[in-house]
Structure 1
Amino acid sequence: MRAHGLRYAAGMTPFDFIHGLQWDDLPAPVRAQAKRCLLDLIGVAAGGLATDMSRIIRDHAAEDFPGSTPILFDNRTSAPATAAMAMATSIDSLDGHDGYNPAKGHIGCPLLPALLIFGQQARISGEGFLTALVMGYEFGARTAEAQHGTCPDYHTSGSWGAVTAAAAGARLLGLDVGQTRHALGIAEYHGPRSQMMRCIDWPTMVKDGAGWGAMSGVSAVQLARRGFTGAPAITVEQAPEYWTGLGTDWRILQQYFKPDPVCRWAQAPIEGVLALRRAHGLCAADVDHIEVDSFHEATRLATSRPETTEEAQYSTTFPCAVAMVRGGLAPADLDRAALRDPEILRLSEGLIMAEEAKANAAFPGTRLARVRLVLRDGRVLESDWMRPRWDAEDPPSDAELVNKFHALADPVLGRDRAEAIASVIDRLEEAPLTALTEHLFRAP
């Protein structure tokens, strides 16, 4: 491979950016957003620990791949690549983590495990960790855009997330430019090109491929450091139109957050149900059935009688029914006893989905839905066109994100430990990374 990659708009290459970004380069809003994303990811990981998906993948990593790398929120260890797989899969087990609309997916989920694993190996500072996190979000956003813009099939976040994780590892372990190019090429070549709509139609624990993306990215870095070679990453080196604005157009500020732990595509319909419920003082018994107009992909979230939390999270009908019955959603509303609630199932199975051209035209930049409640007294109530809450254009406040973090983390970790994690993140640039990992790499 050549010593340097292609040159882009302002002379900045992706390789320059991977290794050259510094804390002093980051505007204050970007620094603050890095901490918000980190807190949210850790909260979702804690909230997902009770799922079968998280338990199985952590057992698999610890028992089948011995090693010395700690597993997130576990007392056991594994090999680096499989520890990364377990971390990302635990986050992905509760579909409440941040995302990026143009990526149709999630940057932080496959990125964070690589940062934690290689950051711990390199004994980096908190400032160094946060800087690498920002680099990863900027790199991951552009890798995702390049893949979606050049590949005809819609692949999961794990596919381009593998390249993102490799970029983070290359930075933290100090790989040279040649090794970095090989790492990215290995990761792209072996990353999970898993078809997203296949899991939408058949929701299971494979979900968004994030675990395998993190595993592939970490493996790629370890291999490249040893001299293993890979073909150049097409998304990085053959799609220059997607690599503009490095260091000036901060994609991390364009992330959305999720108020509810379900697929983002279902969240505009949920908002429509809740808005009508509040405005008219309704309860579920008032409603004969629900109708939703939205974009094609949202209509494919069609599991109306879920048997697992994965099926409930990748559904439009079931979360809308939960929202109508319970006035909101929490992880407990999407698992076990809630899956058998007769009133929720009545509304879920009766919900009518329709594809709407207006919503199709707006996707993926905006996820629109319009809701009608057909009442038992014959009235029909219709919402405006709704967007999900906490989009980048209307983000949550710091207090709202902290409240979400505690709602997910406190029942699992305890209030004191959750408070300690939040406190460390708030001042992480002044501390070593170990100040955070000492709270993360042990069981509740």
Structure 2
Amino acid sequence: MANPITFIHALTWDSLSDAVKTQAELNLLDVLGVGAGGFPTPTSQIIRDHAHEDFGGTIPLLFDGRMASPLGGALAAGMMIDSLDGHDGFNPAKGHIAAPMVPAALMAAHVANASGRAFLEAVVVGYEIGARTAMAQHATCPDYHTSGSWGAVAAAAAASRLMGLDADTTRHALGIAEYHAPRSQMMRCIDFPTMVKDGAGWGAMTGLSAARLAAKGFTGAPAITVEDAPDFWADLGERWYILEQYYKPYPVCRWAQAPMEGAMALQQTHDVGTSDIESIEIHTFLESVRLATKRPRNGEEAQYSTSFPVAAALVHQDVRPEHLEGAALQDAEVLRLSDATEVIESDFANEKFPAQRFARTTLRLKNGTKLEGAWMEPKWDHTKPPTAQELRDKFHGLADPVIGAERAMHIENGLRELANGPLSTLTDHLFTPIKS
């Protein structure tokens, strides 16, 4: 086992396997595509205005072009990514490492004028520290907190490496981040979906702030999740959790995606039109049952619902950002099916959660036929991951409509070249404003 503080600074790109190197590039492509897709959301617009107006500085905001401080940039980027619930995740954490960690790493790398390789190394560090911090926190804390709570520690680890902090200062940075992290209760936002979401922006801002404070001599209590939970750190440097992330084919809560897959599978197998469907029954775990909004009023409520995405998937045979905002929320057939959906708690699914997210969907047709599906899991879990091309297609599906196909291609190519070039290979295309 590697000491976590030593690991943060000792890891090198050349020591990593080809699989880890490839996944680091693809994970960055995925999270940046989600960020681009989230740029037009009301949440993103508000937080970028806030960062520019209240966090003055000289760092360009992601895809915006206006300036903010590094902390404001991390906050805005984290919430922009979080505003569209399509980023990668880690089952044992019940959350997302990249959304709070990557924005902090990106801002720290930009300020430090780091190389592309140094940024990639910090991202790998962030995934490994974030995964273990998350598991340690969930095992030792009775409440289920947002990704920003433990993601702040991952963000501080990545930033500490990029800033070249020594071991003792890094230890203080992790302690500050854990102490000041947003310990926000995730199920509050599940029961009442709003723009606060998964705490990614505040985690990014807190983690980067912690590293910058530690560099000035600010001290912090040791991070309990890092120093007092040895069982979760025993395989550090041997098992690579960056290879065990899941990915989302649809920009809605992961908990709704197994029912979506089940509904679409029944529809396609039996050639069922939506007008043939009388009602829908879903058996799944409690957390998915609590995604209870049937008639969402905004994107947050649409993303944090089980019935509405299932209904939208049946109507559109897909769910994309445009199905979750504006006039799409008033689609009469989607609302009819959402209203006709019953979501029922299952002991079987509860027992498997969070390592697996099971659901079984049944369609009852107007002619009296009952179509009962098998137990399903969401697509693109780490045990059955997407291909590299599927993740690239997802990136372009989200990014091209917002930033343009040419700019999206430059970002994709920049990531391919990043290990052997300057960070500007990527940031030249991230920090310039989107043109209408």
TM-score of the superposed pair, with normalisation by structure 2: 0.99
| Alignment correspondent of 1:112 | 102
| Alignment correspondent of 1:16 | 6
| Alignment correspondent of 1:36 | 26
In 1, the alpha carbon distance for the partners of 2:234 and 2:268 equals 44
Whether the 8 Å contact between 2:417 and 2:425 is mirrored in structure 1 is no
Displacement of 1:283 after TM fit?
1.3
| Alignment correspondent of 1:236 | 226
Aligned mate of 2:15, from 25, 31, 51: 25
In 1, the alpha carbon distance for the partners of 2:70 and 2:303 equals 29
| Alignment correspondent of 1:167 | 157
What secondary structure is seen at the aligned counterpart in 2 of 1:427? helix
In 2, the alpha carbon distance for the partners of 1:135 and 1:221 equals 15
| Alignment correspondent of 1:7 | none
What secondary structure is seen at the aligned counterpart in 2 of 1:307? coil
2:425 aligned with 1:435: yes
| Alignment correspondent of 1:79 | 69
| Alignment correspondent of 1:264 | 254
Whether the 8 Å contact between 1:25 and 1:247 is mirrored in structure 2 is no
| Alignment correspondent of 1:306 | 296
Dislocated runs of 4+, deviation >4 Å: none
| Alignment correspondent of 2:244 | 254
Equivalences for residues 255-294 of structure 1 within 5 A = 255-294=245-284
Residue-by-residue CA offset, 1:303-340 (whole Å, 9 max, x unaligned): 00000000000000000000111111000001111100
In 2, the alpha carbon distance for the partners of 1:280 and 1:31 equals 42
Aligned mate of 2:210, from 187, 198, 220: 220
Displacement of 1:427 after TM fit?
2.0
Aligned mate of 1:179, from 169, 176, 187: 169
In 2, the alpha carbon distance for the partners of 1:345 and 1:358 equals 29
- Paired residue type of 2:37: G
- Paired residue type of 2:275: A
Displacement of 1:350 after TM fit?
1.4
| Alignment correspondent of 1:5 | none
In 1, the alpha carbon distance for the partners of 2:223 and 2:420 equals 35
In 2, the alpha carbon distance for the partners of 1:386 and 1:240 equals 34
Residue-by-residue CA offset, 1:317-367 (whole Å, 9 max, x unaligned): 000000111111000001111100111111111100100011001000000
| Alignment correspondent of 2:390 | 400
What secondary structure is seen at the aligned counterpart in 2 of 1:50? coil
| Alignment correspondent of 2:375 | 385
Displacement of 1:202 after TM fit?
0.1
In 2, the alpha carbon distance for the partners of 1:82 and 1:424 equals 24
2:184 aligned with 1:190: no
2:139 aligned with 1:143: no
Aligned mate of 2:122, from 129, 132, 144: 132
In 1, the alpha carbon distance for the partners of 2:20 and 2:237 equals 11
Residue-by-residue CA offset, 1:211-254 (whole Å, 9 max, x unaligned): 11111111111110000111111000111111021111000000
Equivalences for residues 47-86 of structure 1 within 5 A = 47-86=37-76
What secondary structure is seen at the aligned counterpart in 1 of 2:236? coil
What secondary structure is seen at the aligned counterpart in 1 of 2:344? strand
| Residue ranges of structure 1 left out of the alignment (5+ in a row) | 1-9
Residue-by-residue CA offset, 1:373-402 (whole Å, 9 max, x unaligned): 000010010111000000001111111111
In 2, the alpha carbon distance for the partners of 1:344 and 1:254 equals 34
In 2, the alpha carbon distance for the partners of 1:396 and 1:66 equals 40
Residue-by-residue CA offset, 1:56-77 (whole Å, 9 max, x unaligned): 0000000122111221111111
In 1, the alpha carbon distance for the partners of 2:212 and 2:313 equals 45
- Paired residue type of 1:246: L
Superposition RMSD on alpha carbons, in Å?
A: 0.7
Whether the 8 Å contact between 1:158 and 1:208 is mirrored in structure 2 is yes
In 2, the alpha carbon distance for the partners of 1:70 and 1:116 equals 11
| Alignment correspondent of 1:207 | 197
Residue-by-residue CA offset, 1:394-440 (whole Å, 9 max, x unaligned): 11111111111111000111111001110111121111111100100
What secondary structure is seen at the aligned counterpart in 1 of 2:279? strand
Whether the 8 Å contact between 2:55 and 2:71 is mirrored in structure 1 is no
Whether the 8 Å contact between 1:61 and 1:82 is mirrored in structure 2 is yes
In 1, the alpha carbon distance for the partners of 2:251 and 2:42 equals 16
| Alignment correspondent of 1:6 | none
Residue-by-residue CA offset, 1:261-303 (whole Å, 9 max, x unaligned): 0000000000001101110111110100110000010000000
In 1, the alpha carbon distance for the partners of 2:424 and 2:413 equals 14
Aligned mate of 1:316, from 306, 315, 318: 306
- Paired residue type of 1:131: E
In 2, the alpha carbon distance for the partners of 1:121 and 1:64 equals 19
Residue-by-residue CA offset, 1:58-117 (whole Å, 9 max, x unaligned): 000001221112211111111111210000000000000000000000000001111111
Aligned mate of 2:91, from 77, 85, 101: 101
Whether the 8 Å contact between 1:114 and 1:165 is mirrored in structure 2 is yes
In 2, the alpha carbon distance for the partners of 1:86 and 1:198 equals 22
| Alignment correspondent of 2:80 | 90
Whether the 8 Å contact between 2:122 and 2:159 is mirrored in structure 1 is no
Equivalences for residues 402-417 of structure 1 within 5 A = 402-417=392-407
Q: How many corresponding residue pairs?
A: 434
Displacement of 1:33 after TM fit?
0.4
| Alignment correspondent of 1:374 | 364
| Residue ranges of structure 2 left out of the alignment (5+ in a row) | none
- Paired residue type of 2:430: L
